[in-house]
Structure 1
Amino acid sequence: MTMAYGEGDARVLALDGVSLDLYEGEFTAVMGPSGSGKSTLMHCLAALETPTDGKAYIGDAEVSGLDDKRLTALRRDRIGFIFQSFNLVPTLTARENILLPASIAGRKVDQELFDDVIHAVGLESRLGHRPSQLSGGQQQRVACARALVTQPDIIFADEPTGNLDSRSGEEVLSFLRRSVDRLGQTIVMVTHDAFAAGFTDRVVFLADGRVVDEMRDPTSERVLDRMKQFESRTGRR
């Protein structure tokens, strides 16, 4: 997969022939220095951008070749998103925010799954609260629950702990880890944080728009060492 922006001398190659398989029921981190193509890769995989060349698939669906109507249905039915900025509706309660995507799609959420997710994120006593009444960590857990209750094929998380303190960040990461282990969820997380990557099954490293390495069963220490190696080669952080 290739993704280029601009023309002529201003052309920037954000992705340079990336080929990557992501596996069902796994928690994968995508890491790399600034400008390595992490967010661009996630946007192409999640059908938020169309690559200049190449194809992206979710299961057997080619997401890079769908028209707007089918893209909307794919994002609604098969993809979940967790953003750094939470993206909650301020006038809705936590419960209403969690159920909003399903409500828009006209779908009923399985009550047992809803209860399991709410218990896992520890929000039982906060469902009637609006975002302004919740801490940052609680708001992100609402966003995580919102992504999970529709049972998407895959969840894309873009720096999900970037706006959180260390304790809240660890709570969110632990929940994502449990959702993979207990619910069989597939999660792809873009992060710059070696501690966050230590919660995953696999880390894919990007540099200059290419996949340059990967690590199975990562620890934060091993990931940090690997990132330092890349930084020393490129001179970028």
Structure 2
Amino acid sequence: MTHTSAVAVKATDLIKTYGTGDAAVRPLKRLSLEIPAARFTAVMGPSGSGKSTLMHVLAGLDAPDGGSVIVGDVELTGLDDRRLTRVRRERIGFIFQAYNLVPSMTAEENILLPSRLRRTSVDRSFVGVVVERLGLTGRLHHRPFELSGGQQQRVAVARALVSRPDVIFADEPTGNLDQAAGAEVLDLLRAAVDEFGQTVIMVTHDAGAAARADRTVLLADGRLVDTLEAPTAEQLAAAMIEVGR
């Protein structure tokens, strides 16, 4: 696949502080980065490095105390709640570690929920491709409690894919899964980029998972410390040891 030079997400001088005084925690300290479009970017760093905070700020789920975030051509910083909600619905997909499926809805209803909330027509042929690719054809009428963890995560992945957002954020998407189910989810995120041309940003602590990405950005103490292009799991493990010192 030919990589574009377009930027999907741009963050500039992000600052985030929780608490005050001696108890203050600063997970983001003037952090700047650019995420290229139509590529798979992993985010790694030691515990407390700011990974999850960065993910939530980039996705518009949390507001920075300083700096700016631009998704596509829209600056999130300063938007009121109504406009921010609209941007999240129309431009952003999010895959949570805990799946966040609606218990009373079937798998199909969960998958189609973002499109229904946006009141946009559903591309049924594309939904069919995604559902088949995920092996969910026989599970569409099951509710979450009738599905395994791996199946629930596949539903969450399908939900993020079918509305064709500009960017898909995945927060530790393999964290609750066994090795086989985790590999399956990584295959699907890879396919989202390679087959569907989407942009994926994944926070992970797993060097093997990050090695499936095109590039990995390393955080430490709220700052961007390195960007590795197509690293191996061994290179990432060594880099993590280095930034953890």
Query: In which range does the TM-score fall when normalised by the shorter chain?
Result: over 0.9
Gap regions ≥5 residues in structure 1: none
CA contact (8 A) 1:24 1:185 kept: yes
Structure 2 equivalent of residue 32 of structure 1: 45
User: Which one of 70, 81, 85 corresponds to residue 98 of structure 2?
Assistant: 85
Structure 1 equivalent of residue 167 of structure 2: 154
Which contiguous aligned blocks of 4+ residues in structure 1 show a shift greater than 4 angstroms? none
Counterpart CA distance in 1 for 2:124 and 2:103 is 24
Structure 2 equivalent of residue 207 of structure 1: 220
TM-score relative to the length of structure 2: 0.92
User: Which one of 147, 160, 169 corresponds to residue 134 of structure 1?
Assistant: 147
CA contact (8 A) 1:28 1:204 kept: yes
User: Which one of 20, 28, 31 corresponds to residue 7 of structure 1?
Assistant: 20
Aligned length: 232
CA contact (8 A) 1:44 1:64 kept: no
User: Which one of 23, 28, 42 corresponds to residue 55 of structure 2?
Assistant: 42
Supply the AA of the counterpart residue of 2:114. Answer: P
Structure 2 equivalent of residue 228 of structure 1: 241
Is 1:192 aligned with 2:210? no
Counterpart CA distance in 1 for 2:231 and 2:125 is 32
Structure 2 equivalent of residue 171 of structure 1: 184
Where 1:21 maps in the other structure, the secondary structure is: strand
User: Which one of 136, 150, 154 corresponds to residue 123 of structure 1?
Assistant: 136
State the identity as a percent: 58
Deviations 1:31-79 (A, max 9, x none): 0000000011111111111111100110121112211110010011100
Structure 2 equivalent of residue 216 of structure 1: 229
Indicate the structure with greater helix content: 1
Structure 2 equivalent of residue 112 of structure 1: 125
How far residue 10 of structure 1 moved from its aligned partner, in angstroms, is 2.3
User: Which one of 57, 74, 85 corresponds to residue 61 of structure 1?
Assistant: 74
Counterpart CA distance in 2 for 1:34 and 1:218 is 21
Structure 2 equivalent of residue 20 of structure 1: 33
Where 2:242 maps in the other structure, the secondary structure is: helix
Counterpart CA distance in 2 for 1:73 and 1:62 is 13
TM-score relative to the length of structure 1: 0.95
CA contact (8 A) 1:57 1:63 kept: yes
Where 1:36 maps in the other structure, the secondary structure is: coil
Deviations 1:131-160 (A, max 9, x none): 112111111000000011111000111101
How far residue 7 of structure 1 moved from its aligned partner, in angstroms, is 2.1
